[in-house]
Amino acid sequence: MRALLPYLTLYKRHKWMLTLGIVLAIVTLLASIGLLTLSGWFLSASAVAGVAGIYSFNYMLPAAGVRGAAIVRTAGRYFERLVSHDATFRVLQHLRIYTFSKLLPLSPSGLARYRQGELLNRVVADVDTLDHLYLRVISPLVGAFAVIVVVTLGLSVLDVTLAATLGGIMLLTLLIIPPIFYLAGKRNGQNLTHLRGLYRQQLTAWLQGQAELTLFSASERYRAQMENTELQWHDAQRRQSELTALSQVLMLLVGGVAVLMMLWMASGGVGGNSQPGALIALFVFCALAAFEALAPVTGAFQHLGQVIASALRISELTGQPPEVIFPQGDAAAPAQIALALREVCFSYPGQAQRALEAVSFQAAPGEHIAILGRTGCGKSTLLQLLTRAWDPQRGEILLNERPLGTLGEATLRRSIGVVPQRVHLFSATLRDNLLLAAPDADDEALAAMLRRVGLEKLLDGSGLNGWLGEGGRQLSGGELRRLAIARALLHDAPLLLLDEPTEGLDAATESQILELLAEVMRGKTVLMVTHRLRGLARFDRIIVMDNGQIIEQGNHADLLACRGRYYQFKQSL
């Protein structure tokens, strides 16, 4: 239960809406009980009065009460659903924001050990499961307690013994049956959450790895494994449904016993009246309606196992301390940046070999530097340290002679523009994807930037309202790179980091991208990571890395003259 406490505190933000939903639920339950109780008594009293009592029996007041209870029940149910679901959706929205705010500082170090499918399941499905906490646990339980109190107090006006008996049976039912079925369904609920996450993880991996699985003839085997997980998931769902059915049967049985007891006790007299007449029907129908109101409670605690399991999975993810902590404070980005690395050493968690070993160099404001080397030599790791995705274990990184770790996150993000090797696009419009880099930019500025990077054809048709789709699949590799450059330029940071900007492009497109970069990077400090040699003569300096160390640096002509590693690379073309 302790796992739910952090999420219960989030409910305080919407406490008035949630409380209103519970109040409306209680009003609706009481209206339902009142409707059946009053109707049963009215019909019985009318039959007892007969034709002879047509002038002495008040038909109008009970009839009005029946109509009023029916109207209150209908209106109460509508507004209860409206308010409760609106409040639940608001809580889920807040919970998602809370979860993402906890996840962002963990990226990439704290999330590296999780697969994409597992992360997706925890952030989406597990968060959605927490809506059961209010709709299926808290609201039904509070409503049930309110019903017991009101029904007991109301019936005690007529007969204290009968009221206490019915109230005691209902209270014992509420205190005994839900915990029993919680214990019975706890393990299965946790298993349901686990199997749901496992299946979605396997499904995501199967969809993403179709080409590789087919190539190595492993698709059928992987599909069989996934189907086996699905069968186990269905079996767990079946057991959950059986428990739900059993709880409902038990509730009907207890309710039937209570109705028979009310019939037997009321027939002996009500409130000292040995001839209770229609009051017998009142107590019988009240007991019947009250246990119908308690029916949702039996299944409430069955969902609690899933809710707790989901809460634990989310807490396991969000409860990790971030590897990188930014100081508080904000400042404007400088106009130019001088970069310095001094004896920087870094190794990834769990790996003995260092990714970077005593790396030192300086970049003057406006200097363009290409970082060259084979795959795995530490080039991309170096860029990740500059963006503080990780912190070095030794050495320091300075921006304008200020340690990188003393900059606030907002200041650092405004100071650095990144063109990643893998361009991330959201399933949204072209405008939305560009505004990520410059939220205040108008349509004219966005269109001008697209023309500047050679993407004017994207303005045809729907223009900035054009839908890019998931990952921008309708765009070519060159267009994706240009779009990433457009975003980096819209961000207008003085330090620009390029990670393999021409990877996977044909020679003609690569030349176009390099010419574009040479034009748009004037005045900015630039570090471009690459393992390709085309266009490096344009750079002020070339740094050659190997095994996490700098083995050569200089301009294009000097490195060719010294006949070192860079010369060997050129000769091998």
pLDDT tens digits in sequence order for the chain, 573 residues long:
666 777 777 777 788 888 898 899 899 988 998 888 888 888 887 777 765 556 566 777 878 888 898 999 899 889 988 998 888 888 888 888 888 888 888 777 777 777 776 777 777 777 777 777 777 778 888 888 888 999 999 889 888 988 899 999 988 988 888 888 878 877 887 788 888 888 888 888 888 788 788 888 888 888 888 899 999 989 988 988 888 888 888 888 988 898 898 889 888 888 777 777 788 888 888 888 888 878 777 766 767 777 777 788 788 777 778 878 888 877 777 888 888 989 989 888 777 788 888 888 898 888 899 888 888 788 888 888 888 888 888 889 988 888 888 888 888 888 888 888 888 888 888 888 889 888 888 888 888 888 888 888 888 877 888 887 766 667 777 788 888 888 888 888 889 998 888 776 677 777 777 787 777 788 888 898 887 777 788 888 888 888 888 888 888 888 888 877 877 777 765
CB-neighbour burial class of residue 263 (10 A; exposed 0-12, middle 13-18, buried 19+):
middle
The residue behind tokens 């980091």 is 497
For the structural domain made of 339-571, what CATH number should be given?
A: 3.40.50.300
* Measured CA distances, 447 to 226, 306, 471 (Å): 46, 49, 21
Task: Quote the CA–CA distance of 182 and 301 in Å, as a whole number.
Answer: 5
Helix (H, G, I), strand (E, B) or coil at 369: strand
The residue behind tokens 């690459």 is 530
Domain ranges of the chain: 2-318, 339-571
Phi and psi, residue 350, nearest 5°: 80, 0
Task: Quote the CA–CA distance of 569 and 543 in Å, as a whole number.
Answer: 13
For the structural domain made of 2-318, what CATH number should be given?
A: 1.20.1560.10
Instruction: Report the candidate in 530, 528, 534 with the shortest Cα–Cα distance to residue 509.
Output: 534
Task: Quote the CA–CA distance of 299 and 467 in Å, as a whole number.
Answer: 44
Helix (H) or strand (E) segment spanning residue 372: strand 368-372
Task: Give the pLDDT of residue 52.
Answer: 58
